[in-house]
Amino acid sequence: MNADMHGSRDAKYFAAKYDESSDPWGLADNWYERRKHASTVALLPHRMYRSCFEPGCSIGLLSQALTGRCRRLLCWDIDRRAVQTTAARLRGKRGVTAEVGAVPDQWPSERFDLVVLSELAYYLCADDRLALYTEIAASLEPGGHLVAVHWRPRSTEQRCDGDTVHAELRTGAEFRSLGGYAEREFLIDLYEREPR
Ligand SMILES: C[S@@+](CC[C@H](N)C(=O)[O-])C[C@H]1O[C@@H](n2cnc3c(N)ncnc32)[C@H](O)[C@@H]1O
């Protein structure tokens, strides 16, 4: 991963966030987060997915909501403590694994029929975002779904805004848009992997 000043936010950056708070974005308590998680899950077209990958899972709140919608769930986060919290939250749930992993440099070898990209891509620099979209496309089965969710207002911690991420995904040849939802604070877009 690019480590220059304008490169992707790295593990140290997120470790400092988790030093300050065990829930830096208030995922457990903010109504914005709870509504966004519920909206994300509600937009998934299939009742049940075979296997879902959720990079950037943080402390596992969206992951928890996803457990009812997939038989296998692989949760990754760049931060070890976030992963420990996710693992503790989801302990005993069948088919769920929480691991430390930094995308796009690291990527699971499994294939998925669902990838959930929620409030992650804008922490990556442009090159890493491109690599991320390529990895997602390669690991999604044909007909598999990608759901992307990002906050719209620009923040200094991000490398670009949510609208930029979603515009990049819309122009990607690998994905066919299935629709989405937009409001002042966040975007949710749903894509299907084009058959190869
Ligand atoms: C704003 S939180 C999003 C949490 C969750 N996806 C949600 O929407 O509720 C961003 C999370 O992404 C993780 N993260 C950032 N860069 C990452 C990377 N390159 N690979 C994996 N996780 C990353 C951070 O540690 C943090 O926990």
Q: Which CATH number is 176's domain given?
A: 3.40.50.150
**What are the pLDDT digits (tens) for 93-133?**
999 999 999 999 999 999 999 999 999 999 999 999 999 99
- Report the atom number in ligand 1 closest to the C-alpha of 25: 1
Minimum CA distance residue for ligand 1 atom 24:
56
CB of 56 shorter than 6 A to ligand 1: yes
Q: What is the pLDDT of residue 183?
A: 95
CB of 32 shorter than 6 A to ligand 1: no
Minimum CA distance residue for ligand 1 atom 14:
56
Average pLDDT across the chain, whole number: 94
Q: How far apart are CA 139 and CA 108, in angstroms?
A: 8
Confidence bin at 6 (pLDDT 50/70/90): confident
**What are the pLDDT digits (tens) for 134-183?**
999 999 999 999 999 999 998 889 999 999 999 999 988 789 999 999 99
The tally of CA atoms less than 13 A away on the side-chain side of residue 179 is 6
Minimum CA distance residue for ligand 1 atom 3:
119
CA of 137 to the centre of ligand 1 (A): 19
Q: Is residue 2 one of the residues assigned to a domain?
A: no
Q: What is the pLDDT of residue 11?
A: 96
Q: Is residue 44 one of the residues assigned to a domain?
A: yes
Q: Is residue 68 one of the residues assigned to a domain?
A: yes
**pTM to 2 decimal places:** 0.96
- β-pairing, 175-182 vs 186-193, is antiparallel
CB of 135 shorter than 6 A to ligand 1: no
Which structural domain range is residue 146 located in? 11-193
Per DSSP, the residues of 19-66 read HH-SSTT-TTT-HHHHHHHHHHHHH-SSS-EEEEEEES-TTSHHHHHH
Q: Is residue 1 one of the residues assigned to a domain?
A: no
Q: What is the pLDDT of residue 5?
A: 52
Q: 192, 182, 114, 112: which is closest to 150 by C-alpha? A: 182
149's tokens: 């969710």
Q: Is residue 81 one of the residues assigned to a domain?
A: yes
Q: Is residue 172 one of the residues assigned to a domain?
A: yes
Q: Is residue 5 one of the residues assigned to a domain?
A: no
Q: Is residue 6 one of the residues assigned to a domain?
A: no
Query: How many domains are there within the chain?
Result: 1
CB of 158 shorter than 6 A to ligand 1: no
CB of 188 shorter than 6 A to ligand 1: no
